[in-house]
A = this chain, B = another copy of it.
Amino acid sequence: MQNGITAVLDQIDRDLPDSLERLFDLLRIPSISTDPAHAAEVDRAADWLVRELSGLGLAARKDATGGHPMVVADGGEDASGPHLLFYAHYDVQPVDPLDLWDRPPFDPELQDTDAGRVIRARGASDDKGQMMTFIEACRAWLKVHGRLPVKLTLCLEGEEECGSPSLVPYLEANRDSLRADLALICDTGLFDAQTPAITTMLRGLLGEEIIIHGPARDLHSGAFGGPAINPARVLARILADLHDVQGRVTVPGFYDGVPELTDDLRAQWDGLGFDADAFLGRVGLKHPAGEAGRTALEMIWSRPTCEINGMISGYTGAGFKTVLPARASAKVSFRLVGTQDPDRLRASFRDFVRTRVPADCRVEFLEHGASPASVMETAHPAFEAAREALSQEWPRPAAFVGAGGSIPIAGYFKSILGMDSMLIGFAKDDDQIHSPNEKYDLDSFHRGIRSWARILEAVSKV
């Protein structure tokens, strides 16, 4: 089969101009999912995909949902390898403010820049360009070998940029046809221009709002200051108590289920040469804060956190008002890792707060979501096979990495379909996704296609 992959890669290289033309065709469709005025365009993009996938010989269809359609295609039924579910999305972000774009966002162009050639258009990176790396890899496989090396289902969403309202019901209603051995998700990035990555750890999130109620109304701080309790002071104490001097979260049981990094993963991460100074420097910071004794990368990818996302009390306008506020509130969120249990943590956090609410105050809690971390079973041989395949394509070896934020689809695949996901993508930090002048490096597109071809081959053998 080694000869097999070489021929596929050659085919990809030869076909690159046509691959680009096809991507440009798709980029010309302004499939902005959040804007009802663009609903027909989203639908047109779905039709375009069904046509392309059918043209490859896949059994493609457009499934209606409560919102924008899901494009689904099956192929490789006769393949001996594992069954893979590929996910990407064909909808895009809005383009406002339009005057900050150098050219029309839906008129894609290949541009020469100091950093190489880039594809400039809305959706070039997020996520049409990424999605097409996979479809073009399939095309090359089919062209060279007449068949796919694995059984494959594609599931292409049209609502990712508007909160995926139909996704969970769709997955639940189509459990049987979508369940596979492993999911591939192409909506993430490279570690850096040289180094590909498979995201295997995604932090979960617990959101809470606490409202401390004190006096029945705002009071005059002259008339009542002293004997009347001040809810802002109570809240400040609670928020300050959430961390100890080492930067660790003090909520009882918080670190239950937080694993230490394995030696293997730590070695991989150390080998990445992550530049914490540059990372923080981009946002005006110089000194890693957070838990003492942890590296910045370790903290973002593998350590849980507690953050104050917002707080408000009393008078916050211009000037001054000597008010003693009747209430004070804060939004607090926890990023979760490993097997931290969001429901148990919510209860523990609320107990933590309640024990700090003094006489004459009352605390109200608002719930703002809870999802556990997604930690992939990298012991599955497909992970190591894909890592080796990526390492062959790119200048530096691929790494299993973490992600500080959540990618809900990976959680849904796990909870609804019982599958782990390999999150592999070729976007770069400077792709300006969700912003004007979005781009995708031609190198990301070209090597991305080649990467998927190699991964399909490697995974077919596990």
Task: Assess the B325–A310 pair: CB atoms within 8 A.
Answer: yes
**Which residues from chain B contact A290 at a C-beta distance below 8 Å?**
226-228
Task: Assess the A227–B309 pair: CB atoms within 8 A.
Answer: no
A246 to B398, CA, bound (A): 57
- Stretch from A71-79, A94-102, A327-335, A419-427 forming part of the interface with B: A327-335
Task: Assess the A230–B307 pair: CB atoms within 8 A.
Answer: yes
Q: How far is the CB of A259 from chain B (nearest CB, A)?
A: 16
Q: How far is the CB of A312 from chain B (nearest CB, A)?
A: 4
Task: Assess the A335–B368 pair: CB atoms within 8 A.
Answer: no
Best-buried of A229, A286, A294 by chain B (most CB within 10 Å): A229
| Contact pick for A230, options B280, B291, B308, B320, CB 8 Å | B308
A228 to B300, CA, bound (A): 10
**Which residues from chain B contact A313 at a C-beta distance below 8 Å?**
308, 310-312
Q: How far is the CB of A91 from chain B (nearest CB, A)?
A: 21
Task: Assess the A360–B223 pair: CB atoms within 8 A.
Answer: no
Contact with B along A70-110 (1 / 0, CB 8 A): 00000000000000000000000000000000000000000
Q: How far is the CB of A230 from chain B (nearest CB, A)?
A: 6
- Stretch from A25-33, A168-176, A235-243, A389-397 forming part of the interface with B: A235-243
Task: Assess the B311–A225 pair: CB atoms within 8 A.
Answer: no
Q: A323 — nearest CB in chain B belongs to which residue? A: B309
Q: Using known A-B contacts A320-B368, A368-B320, determine if residue A217 contacts B311 with beta carbons closer than 8 Å.
A: no
Task: Assess the A207–B320 pair: CB atoms within 8 A.
Answer: yes
Q: How far is the CB of A277 from chain B (nearest CB, A)?
A: 11
Q: Using known A-B contacts A308-B313, A309-B321, A316-B310, determine if residue A224 contacts B300 with beta carbons closer than 8 Å.
A: yes
Task: Assess the B309–A311 pair: CB atoms within 8 A.
Answer: no
A358 an interface residue at 8 Å Cβ cutoff?
Answer: yes
Task: Assess the A227–B280 pair: CB atoms within 8 A.
Answer: yes
A212-229 at interface with B (beta carbon < 8 Å)? 214-217, 219-229
A328 to B310, CA, bound (A): 9
Interface of A is mostly: mixed
Q: How far is the CB of A191 from chain B (nearest CB, A)?
A: 14
For this chain, the copies found in one complex come to 2
**Which residues from chain B contact A312 at a C-beta distance below 8 Å?**
311-313, 316
Task: Assess the A291–B226 pair: CB atoms within 8 A.
Answer: yes
Q: A243 — nearest CB in chain B belongs to which residue? A: B233
Task: Assess the B307–A225 pair: CB atoms within 8 A.
Answer: yes
Q: A299 — nearest CB in chain B belongs to which residue? A: B226
A209 to B209, CA, bound (A): 25
Q: A329 — nearest CB in chain B belongs to which residue? A: B316
A350 to B284, CA, bound (A): 24
A403 an interface residue at 8 Å Cβ cutoff?
Answer: yes
A217 to B300, CA, bound (A): 18
A322 an interface residue at 8 Å Cβ cutoff?
Answer: yes
A360 to B277, CA, bound (A): 12
Q: Using known A-B contacts A229-B289, A316-B312, A368-B319, determine if residue A284 contacts B404 with beta carbons closer than 8 Å.
A: no
A317 to B288, CA, bound (A): 29
Q: How far is the CB of A344 from chain B (nearest CB, A)?
A: 20
| Contact pick for A289, options B314, B358, B404, CB 8 Å | B358
A58 to B359, CA, bound (A): 57
Task: Assess the B359–A287 pair: CB atoms within 8 A.
Answer: yes
Q: How far is the CB of A432 from chain B (nearest CB, A)?
A: 15
**Which residues from chain B contact A329 at a C-beta distance below 8 Å?**
316
Q: How far is the CB of A276 from chain B (nearest CB, A)?
A: 7
| Contact pick for A226, options B215, B236, B296, CB 8 Å | B296
**Which residues from chain B contact A324 at a C-beta distance below 8 Å?**
307, 309
A449 an interface residue at 8 Å Cβ cutoff?
Answer: no
* 12 further interface pairs, Cβ-Cβ under 8 Å (given A240-B241, A321-B331): A221-B335, A236-B240, A287-B360, A289-B360, A308-B314, A309-B323, A309-B325, A310-B313, A310-B314, A312-B313, A312-B316, A320-B368
**Mind listing 24 A-B residue pairs with CB under 8 Å?**
A205-B222, A215-B285, A216-B284, A216-B285, A217-B284, A225-B300, A226-B296, A227-B279, A227-B299, A228-B289, A232-B239, A232-B310, A232-B330, A236-B236, A236-B311, A287-B360, A289-B358, A308-B325, A310-B316, A311-B313, A311-B328, A312-B312, A312-B316, A319-B368
Closest 6 pairs (CB-CB, A-B):
A222-B405, A216-B284, A226-B299, A310-B314, A236-B239, A240-B240
